[in-house]
Amino acid sequence: MNQQDFAVLMAPVIDFTAGKPVDRALADALNQRFPGASPEIRTIERACHDAIAAGWMCSQGGAGRRFGRVIEATPDTRDLSVDVVDLTEVVGPLHRHPDGEVCLVMPVDETAKFDGKSRGWCVYGPGSAHRPTVKGGRALVLYLLPGGKIEFQE
């Protein structure tokens, strides 16, 4: 699996997400179309683990918080970027989502929760901000950003 293969794997999710309002209804629609335990999501999750092991995903950061942009926002990605973070018992840096953030939570430890949420999709609307927090173990979080926009506050 390389970045191009991963982009192909993500294409159905990107196509489904692109152009929709980044709101609670999108989270509900994603959880229905791509449930956290579905074969499609489990394949994405395995690909993330393989890519992390290969060293090209989550190659930045340090212990407890590794991250990296996997897919840039381009016309081919319908203006959505894809990033993946690998978080263990951490409170991350405060950041703002100018156009929203669409997150797929993939607990490595089944007790791990991202911002209080377990396996599946959650959405932060345009203008929202938070400190990404994982408690209860380790989780991977894949997130899509319209326009690739994120503003770190610290």
What is the secondary structure of 59-112 as a DSSP string?
Answer: -EEETTEEEEEEE---GGGTTEEEEEEEEEEEE---EEETT-EEEEEEESSTT-
Residues 6 or more apart whose Cβ sits within 8 Å of residue 100? 22, 23, 123, 124, 125, 126, 128, 145, 146
Q: SS3 for 58?
A: coil
Average pLDDT value for residue range 141-150: 98
Instruction: Band the pLDDT of 143: cuts 50, 70, 90.
Output: very high
Domains delineated in the chain: 3-145 (2.60.120.10)
Q: What is the pLDDT of residue 153?
A: 87
Residues 6 or more apart whose Cβ sits within 8 Å of residue 147? 73, 79, 81, 98, 99
With 70 as the cut, is the pLDDT of residue 140 above it? yes
pLDDT tens figures, 12-33:
999 999 999 999 999 999 999 9
State the Cα torsion 55-47-94-26 to the nearest 10°: 160
What are the phi and psi torsion angles at 28 (to 5°)?
A: -60, -45
Task: Tell me, yes or no, if the pTM score tops 0.85.
Answer: yes
